[in-house]
Chain A
Amino acid sequence: AQSVTQPDIHITVSEGASLELRCNYSYGATPYLFWYVQSPGQGLQLLLKYFSGDTLVQGIKGFEAEFKRSQSSFNLRKPSVHWSDAAEYFCAAFPTTNNNDMRFGAGTRLTVKP
């Protein structure tokens, strides 16, 4: 079955430290991949997306993600975390075949320590 897995429910990092949020997907063919962020009381906002080509994609707010086909992963990274990055992060995938079902991972809640 098609699915998106975020193994970490909650991650705490210190401000200024680096961050990596994990995402794995299970699809027959490589899907389109996305990372969204949800701040408290807000809707989801797109951070970045991968369709094809360069496996390292840059997004907004200093985030980047690396697509690794061999590991079926699309991990989100940021070199130096700011307190304002505290939020819930969702990985999502959409199959490239004729299907409109975008699936989301369970989310990873990021806490930033001062």
Chain B
Amino acid sequence: DSGVTQTPKHLITATGQRVTLRCSPRSGDLSVYWYQQSLDQGLQFLIQYYNGEERAKGNILERFSAQQFPDLHSELNLSSLELGDSALYFCASSPGYLALTPGELFFGEGSRLTVL
């Protein structure tokens, strides 16, 4: 158990819909990262937050957005869903800002999104 909690574990929805994925980082971790894992794209970095502020952006679509709340949990919002958005979405956390305190990422078990 990594200490990172993601909900829901599974989600099935239709094209055009909007969903929200939730992540609770390990106790004390300030950084939250979102990754998308699909068969054809592998593990892609989407976005990172540190203590409530966006710190880095990867291959995140404009239809997707995220935020980190004062209690440090994070949400990833996916809108106008397309079939190609079907993937496993991982949240990871780390104690600090990786550039200053390099260390491992602690991954949750992922949220599997299926868009029909």
Interface of A toward B, CB cutoff 8 Å? 32, 34, 36, 41-46, 49, 51, 90, 94, 96-107
Known: A98-B99, A100-B97, A101-B45. 18 other contacts (CB 8 A): A36-B107, A43-B2, A43-B4, A43-B107, A43-B108, A43-B110, A45-B2, A45-B107, A46-B104, A49-B103, A94-B102, A100-B50, A100-B98, A101-B58, A102-B105, A103-B45, A105-B42, A106-B42
> Residue B18 at the A interface, CB < 8 A?
no
Q: Which size bracket describes the interface of B in this complex? A: 20 to 34
- Residue in A45, A97, A102, A105 with the greatest tally of chain B CB atoms within 10 Å: A102
> Residue B24 at the A interface, CB < 8 A?
no
B90 touches A49 (CB 8 A): no
A43 touches B43 (CB 8 A): no
Q: List 8 A-B contacts (CB under 8 A).
A: A42-B109, A43-B110, A46-B104, A100-B33, A100-B97, A100-B98, A103-B45, A104-B43
Cα-based distance from A42 to B109 in the complex (angstroms): 5
B56 touches A101 (CB 8 A): yes
Report B73 CB to chain A, min CB distance, Å: 17
Write the chain A residue with the least CB distance to B99: A98
Cα-based distance from A106 to B45 in the complex (angstroms): 12
B42 touches A107 (CB 8 A): yes
